[in-house]
């Protein structure tokens, strides 16, 4: 069981009849909930349909990081996307950080939000050279970053962390106050021609937005691949980590919560084939490596939680956001960075659904 979901219960009813709205949003993770919030704030009537409960899938099974950029360092991103686009991606994820700060304050969402920064730590000499060069380049853009050659790391002062389930559920409550209707325990079986079909009713809508990330292929043609991520959490321990850390090109990550729990995740690169698929179970191969990290860092607190979640990976590590068919949109493929991309992505897809333009739509067009 995810630490974040421990003791959490569902708050919204199951759809038991046909319904109608301007927009039907499928999926109540951070992308779906934020999409509903932005659409409802703009005056649209919105229905959200969730197979499980709000934030019970990947949005409730991650580390709760709010990091700018993609998993790799900026130099690696610039090599992959070109520097102008890498800068656009960086600013796009910074938009998420702005939105989180503003929405948490406006709606008084109790989600243990902290802005302690993050550490990006090199796993080898090549990565350290890239991290150092990334810090220099981003510093010239006004990014608050410092390097520690002894630790072979860079600290990004403006990054944050939070309790992901409380964050998403707090935003869901805000969306409901704006007029959105949320149905939990309501699995969508098919979407077609402005309709979302469930076992107990059909939602008729002018537009349907698939915020189903790893599960999008169940409802529409999709290039999103399901990839498993695993984590563990300990009981309260003595202070050991000052801020969230990403290491080895994003394959390893950890943080310590405000109440002292240590969270460790990743290492999927050591079992890449086994970690593909939708099965949400932990494995000895990965969990033993997470435990070894605790021993290496002299964390002797007992492990209290172990869990797995299914992430949705795209072909180029950027989400797919936009129209995929007449009246059907998607917002997914976050490649393990749904907390960083989700709110800004939701703002983008909400604009497209309303018929507006967005300056970054081309970056994330599903047909790219």
Q: Which of 311, 326, 356 is the last residue of a domain?
A: 311
pLDDT at 316: 96
Phi and psi based region of residue 327 (left: phi greater than 0; alpha: psi -120 to 50; beta: remaining) = left
CA distances, 76 to each of 87, 128, 163, 275, 325 (Å): 12, 11, 29, 24, 33
Q: Determine the Cα–Cα distance for residues 304 and 264; give it in Å rounded to an integer.
A: 12
pLDDT (average), residues 35-49: 98
Q: CATH number, domain at 230?
A: 3.30.9.10
Judge if pTM exceeds 0.95: yes
What percentage of residues in the chain have a pLDDT greater than 70?
100
Domain count, the chain: 3
- Residue 193: pLDDT over 90: no
Indicate the pairing of strand 328-332 with strand 202-210.
parallel
Count the helix, strand and coil residues of the chain and give each as a percent rounded to the nearest 5: 35, 25, 40
- Residue 242: pLDDT over 90: yes
**Model confidence band, residue 114 (pLDDT cutoffs 50, 70, 90):** very high
pLDDT at 71: 87
Same domain flag for 194 and 99: yes
Same domain flag for 108 and 239: no
Domain that holds residue 128: 118-157
Domain assignment present for 14 = yes
Q: Which of 294, 311, 328 is the last residue of a domain?
A: 311
Same domain flag for 199 and 73: yes
Domain assignment present for 1 = no
Domain assignment present for 359 = yes
Phi and psi based region of residue 315 (left: phi greater than 0; alpha: psi -120 to 50; beta: remaining) = alpha
Placement of tokens 């493929």 in the chain: 333
Same domain flag for 57 and 187: yes
Same domain flag for 244 and 302: yes
Q: CATH number, domain at 329?
A: 3.50.50.60
pLDDT at 323: 97
Tell me the pLDDT tens digit for each residue of 58-104.
999 999 999 999 989 999 999 999 999 999 999 999 999 999 999 99
Here the tokens at position 195 are 């309709």
Here the tokens at position 205 are 């809508």
């Amino acid at each position: 069981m995810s630490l974040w979901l421990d003791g959490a219960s569902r708050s919204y009813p199951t759809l038991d009849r046909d319904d109608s709205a301007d927009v039907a949003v499928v999926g109540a993770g951070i992308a779906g909930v934020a999409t509903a919030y932005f659409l409802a704030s703009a005056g649209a009537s919105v229905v959200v349909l969730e197979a499980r409960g709000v934030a019970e899938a990947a949005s409730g099974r991650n580390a709760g990081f709010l990091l700018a950029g993609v998993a790799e360092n900026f130099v690696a991103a610039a090599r992959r996307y070109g520097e102008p686009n890498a800068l656009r991606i960086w600013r796009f994820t910074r938009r998420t950080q702005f939105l989180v700060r503003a929405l948490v304050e406006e709606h008084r969402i109790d989600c243990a939000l902290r802005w302690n920064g993050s550490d990006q730590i090199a796993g080898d000499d090549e990565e350290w050279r890239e991290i150092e060069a990334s810090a220099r380049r981003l510093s010239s853009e006004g990014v608050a970053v410092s390097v520690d050659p002894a630790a072979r790391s860079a600290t990004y002062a403006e990054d944050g962390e939070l309790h992901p389930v409380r964050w998403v559920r707090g935003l869901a409550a805000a969306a409901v106050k704006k007029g959105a209707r949320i149905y939990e325990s309501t699995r969508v079986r098919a979407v077609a021609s402005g309709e979302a079909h469930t076992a107990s009713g059909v939602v008729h809508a002018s537009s349907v937005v698939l915020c189903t990330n790893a599960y999008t292929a169940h409802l529409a043609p999709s290039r999103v691949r399901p990839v498993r991520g695993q984590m563990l959490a300990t009981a309260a321990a003595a202070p050991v980590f000052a801020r969230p850390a990403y290491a080895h090109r994003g394959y390893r990550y950890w943080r310590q919560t405000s109440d002292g729990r240590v969270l460790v995740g990743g290492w999927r690169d050591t079992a890449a084939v086994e970690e593909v698929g939708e099965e949400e179970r932990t494995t000895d191969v990965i969990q033993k490596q997470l435990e070894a990290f605790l021993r290496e860092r002299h964390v002797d607190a007992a492990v209290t939680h172990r869990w797995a979640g299914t992430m949705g990976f795209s072909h180029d590590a950027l989400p797919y956001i936009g129209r995929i068919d007449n009246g059907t949109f998607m917002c997914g493929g976050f490649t393990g960075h749904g907390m960083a991309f989700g709110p800004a992505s939701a703002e983008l897809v909400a604009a497209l659904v309303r018929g507006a333009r967005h300056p970054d739509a081309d970056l994330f067009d599903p047909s790219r």
